[in-house]
Structures are given as C-alpha cells and as structure tokens.
C-alpha cells in the first residue's frame, strides 16, 4: 500500500494512534514526512525566534516540546506544533515593551530581562489556554468573523515583510510598521552589499522555487528553505562571515562578521545550557496582562483556524476535538515557556507540507521534533553558519503568503462589505495593534449588519423554532438573522438536535432577514460534520434571499417586495 493510494480510503482504515501497529505500520510514511517537515521547520524556527526578539534556540525548544508532548495529548493527526510567524508581532511587541530591542546590536542584559518577562507571560497565557480547552471553550473560535480574522493575518504578513526586509539587506532598523515602511528607500541605500546579496538571492529562491521545482525531476522534493540554505551558507563562507573584517566598495566601507550569522551554542549538547526560566515577578506589572491576553487570544484563534483547515485537508477526513487540541497546545506552551521557548500553535504551513509529504498519523509531528532535537544538540556549529539574511528572506516569503494578493481578490469576490471589513482590519492593525485592529473590524461588521436592518435584539441571540418531523428528522426554522455574533448558540442548537440526538435536520433559512458570510461558511462546515456522522443537514430557503455576490459564501439578505400598485 503506498501513500497515494491510501488517500481515498476511509478514516477507519488508519490504525488508532494508541496501537503499536499504528506506529510501526505507517512508520515509513510518517518518518519520511517528519524528515521533510524538519528540513522546513529548522530554519523557520530559528528565523521566527530572531524576528520575535528571542534567542534562536527558543523556537527549536518550542517545536521539540510540541512534538514530544502535544503529539500525545491532542487527537489532531496531521498538524505540526511549533512556533508561528503569526505571533511574531506580539512576541517582539512584548519584548520591546519590557525594555528589550530584539537583539538589535547584540544580546544585552535588557534583552535577557525582557526575554524572561516574556516567558512568564507565555506561561500565564498557556494556563489560560488549558482552562479554555478544559471548559470546552474551543467553540469561541467560531465567534470571530472570517473577514476580520483574515484581515488581521494579512496585516501580520505585511508587518513581517516590513520588519524583515531590512534584515535581508543587512540593515539594522526599528520602529512602528508604517514608520519603517516610509524608510524603505533609506534601507536600500544603506544596504550592506554582501549581506544584501545573500538576502536578495534567498528571497528570489523562496519565490521562484515553487514555480520551477516541478520541472526539476528528483530535486522537486527539496523544500525551498533547504535550497536557500544550500546557497546562503556557502555564500556566507565565501564572504567569511565567521571572522570580523571590513571591505570597501565604490568608496564605502562595510563591516562583516558573526553578527550576521545565527548565534548558536558552540559545543555538542550546548543547547541545554541555553535553557532559560521565566521571571514571574513580571506578572505583577499591569502591562503584562495585556500581552497575556494577546498571546492567549491570537495564539488560540490562529491555532484553532489552522487545525480546522488541516482537518478539511485530511485525506481520511478525521475530525479533531478542538477543546482537546487547545488543551494540548496549552500544556505544550506551559512547558515550552518554562524552559525558554516561544509560544506554540498548530502551524498551518508546516502542517500542509506534512499532508503533501504523505504523513498518515501524528507520529510525523513526533519525528520532526526528534530530528530537530538531534540536529541542534549534535550539530550546533553547522547551524551557526546560517546567515541571518537567509532566515529573514524565508520570513519575507511567509509574510507574503499571509498577505497574498489572491487573499484580497478572494475576499472581494465574496462581497464588497467583506472586503471593507478585511481592509479596515488590516489598516487598523498596522496603525494600532492586533487587539484594537480586530476589535475595529468586528465593530464595523456589527455596524454593517445594523445598517442592513438586523434588529439589535438578534445580534447576539438567534431566534429559532424547532419542529419535529418524524422519529429521525427535525426542522429548525431561523428567524430575524443568522450572523457571526449569534452563531455560537445557533450552532449549539443544530448540534444538539442533529449530532447529539443523531437526527437529520432540515434548516429553513427562508424567514431570516440576513445570513452573513461567516455563517454561510460555517454552515458548509456543519454539513460536512453531518455527512461524517452519516446524517444530513438540508439547508433550505436560501433561494428566497438575495446574495451580495455570485460567490457561494456571499452574505444573503431578504429583499422587501415592492407593493403592487
């Protein structure tokens, strides 16, 4: 049986994770995928750490803990746990708020103190995640409107590009995103040519490799980050970055040295010397709890979204218990932050690569972490040769994927009001911060609903009527509105009658004033849940509502009939 042929098989053909036969039976698929994901994860863990103002080893600690701990606590089979680019903005903001500067100019006492404060905040946020999962709070991930969430993620992508592009040029730069964006011409003029060569070549590889690798035969299995390292490390050696020296080009003198390389332990097993413990006294400061909330909220939302997305891609259509997964991530974060690690989530890019590489079970996540542990413990001096500009290039590409132009087009096709929410959230995040930005996006969506005639009373409370049809069928009649803000109680009612009582459900939406885009997408997800359980969720009456666009996820509104004269 090969990896390709099994993709059409039912979920019950995969041996349960607790069975030793599952570990051995799918070893060749899971180990190979774990190895390929390891090649992607290693440079990204280092790059995300540096961009977050943490030591490079911090991201590796997180991925290792995610592999060795969260693998066995969650029932998510194909997600990869580790540090995420989406949390860079929060992490570096926290570090700077506590007096660090993200190691710009070297590692100082202030950086170390800010790092230990951030670790304490990470532990506090992780405890909230555990409680969130244990008290079945995973459903709250359903509250946030999709346009606002995607706007926030796009803004994070833009910020990552703005922050990392100067690093790719060998320029030291700090400031708010919009302030730094105005300085881009200056960064280009001040670029260190040798470092910029590494950075620009690495960026070109990240963008071009996915386009050409299909034509390269056996080489197509190489992930772009590994190809970057295969070019960047020799370039760094050519420029002799291990030794401090200067060179002159067109009358300008430029400095080169180890400050442009990843700082790693200098001996085998030296990584264990870098274990760092939190300074819990930082939690006595009021500002710390702002960052606890941001780590908890944004990390949890992003992790839930990633896990749900990977479930949709699972060839065997297995479904993750989101409460259990959040609890597992929380436990992993508690341990990771206690030893010096970054915040952890179910990471979408590595998880997607895991599926593409043929993983069958969660042991692929385990193997990727074991290989990270062996590599960093046994080969630290090899990792020290990686240029920072190459890692920055990978993050520039990651940021571009988060803010990809196709995302703008996709949201615009769903509806102009969705595009307005998306762009408003993006700009608000760039101008303020993540919490305020997504709050503004949510407020705009609520305002749009009110302008479209949704009664205030139904914004947060669904008005539904339940009717029994026969022993196996029920009808749910929706009235007033079905919008993101009243979706959670609406969903619970559908789940209780359908999935809990194991009944087929007819959902009549003809009496609703408005069904928003978020609910349209979530209803589609619920239909898949019913199908997985051998049930039917039949949605009727949408043809009586006028869609805002031709997209199947477009919001729909009841149009008042004109009186006959």
Give the up-direction half-sphere exposure of residue 515: CA atoms within 13 A in the CB hemisphere: 29
Give pLDDT, residue 5: 37
Provide the percentage of residues in the chain whose pLDDT is more than 70: 95
Regions of the chain where pLDDT drops below 50: 1-12, 15-16, 18
Are 362 and 29 in contact by the 8 Å Cβ rule? The answer is: no
Give pLDDT, residue 19: 55
Give pLDDT, residue 186: 95
Radius of gyration of the chain (CA): 25
Identify the CATH number of the domain defined by range 457-557.
Answer: 3.30.750.24
User: What is the token pair recorded at 355?
Assistant: 């599926």
Q: Is the model's pTM score more than 0.75?
A: yes
pLDDT in tens, 40-53: 999 999 999 999 99
Who contacts 128 (Cβ-Cβ below 8 Å, separation ≥6)?
A: 292, 296, 330
Query: Longest C-alpha distance within the chain, in Å?
Result: 89
Give pLDDT, residue 105: 64
Give pLDDT, residue 435: 85
Who contacts 238 (Cβ-Cβ below 8 Å, separation ≥6)?
A: none
Domain with CATH 3.30.750.24 in the chain: 457-557
């Amino acid at each position: 049986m090969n990896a390709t042929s099994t993709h059409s098989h039912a979920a019950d053909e995969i041996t349960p994770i607790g069975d030793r036969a599952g570990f051995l039976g799918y070893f060749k698929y899971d180990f190979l995928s774990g190895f390929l994901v390891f090649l992607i994860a290693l440079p990204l863990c280092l790059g995300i750490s540096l961009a977050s103002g943490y030591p490079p080893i911090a991201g590796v600690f997180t991925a290792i803990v995610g592999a060795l701990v969260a693998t066995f606590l969650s029932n998510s089979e194909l997600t990869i746990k580790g540090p995420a680019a989406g949390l860079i903005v929060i992490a570096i903001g926290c570090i700077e708020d506590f007096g660090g500067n993200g190691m710009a100019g070297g590692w100082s006492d202030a950086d170390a103190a800010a790092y230990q404060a951030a670790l304490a905040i990470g532990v506090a946020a992780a405890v909230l995640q555990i409680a969130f999962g244990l008290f079945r709070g995973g459903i709250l991930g359903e509250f946030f409107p999709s346009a606002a969430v995607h706007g926030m993620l796009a803004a994070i992508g833009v910020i990552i590009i703005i922050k990392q592009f100067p690093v790719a040029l060998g320029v030291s730069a700090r400031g708010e995103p919009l302030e730094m964006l105005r300085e881009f011409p200056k960064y280009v003029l001040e670029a260190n040519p040798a470092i910029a060569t590494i950075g620009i070549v690495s960026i070109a590889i990240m963008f071009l490799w996915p386009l050409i690798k299909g034509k390269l035969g056996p080489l197509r299995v190489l992930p772009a980050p590994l190809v970057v390292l295969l070019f960047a490390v020799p370039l760094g050696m050519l420029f002799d970055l291990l030794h401090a020296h200067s060179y002159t080009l067109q009358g300008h003198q430029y400095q080169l040295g180890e400050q442009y390389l990843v700082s790693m332990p200098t001996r085998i097993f030296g990584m264990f010397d870098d274990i760092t413990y939190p300074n819990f006294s930082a939690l006595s400061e009021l500002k710390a709890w702002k960052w606890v909330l941001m780590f908890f909220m944004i990390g949890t939302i992003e992790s839930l979204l990633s896990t749900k997305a990977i479930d949709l891609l699972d060839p065997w259509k297995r479904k993750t218990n989101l409460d259990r997964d959040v609890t597992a991530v929380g436990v992993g974060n508690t341990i990771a932050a206690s030893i010096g690690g970054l915040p952890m989530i179910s990471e979408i890019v590595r998880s997607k690569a895991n599926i593409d590489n043929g993983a069958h079970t969660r042991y692929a996540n385990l193997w990727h972490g074991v290989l990270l542990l062996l590599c960093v413990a046994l080969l630290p001096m090899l990792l020290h040769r990686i240029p920072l500009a190459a890692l920055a290039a990978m993050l520039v590409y990651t940021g571009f994927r988060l803010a990809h132009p196709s995302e703008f087009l996709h949201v615009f096709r769903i509806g102009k009001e969705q595009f307005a929410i998306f762009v408003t959230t993006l700009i608000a995040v760039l101008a303020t911060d993540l919490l305020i930005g997504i709050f503004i996006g949510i407020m705009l969506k609520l305002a749009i609903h009110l302008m479209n005639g949704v009664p205030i009373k139904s914004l947060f409370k669904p008005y539904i009527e339940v009717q029994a049809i026969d022993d196996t069928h029920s009808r749910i009649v929706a009235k007033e509105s079905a919008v993101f803000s009243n979706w959670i109680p609406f969903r619970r009612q559908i789940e209780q009658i359908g999935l809990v009582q194991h009944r087929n459900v007819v959902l009549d939406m003809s009496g609703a004033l408005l069904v928003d885009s978020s609910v349209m997408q979530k209803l589609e997800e619920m239909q898949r849940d019913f199908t997985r359980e051998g049930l039917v969720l039949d949605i009727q009456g949408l043809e009586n509502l006028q869609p805002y666009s031709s997209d199947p996820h477009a919001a729909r509104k009841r149009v008042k009939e004109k009186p006959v004269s």
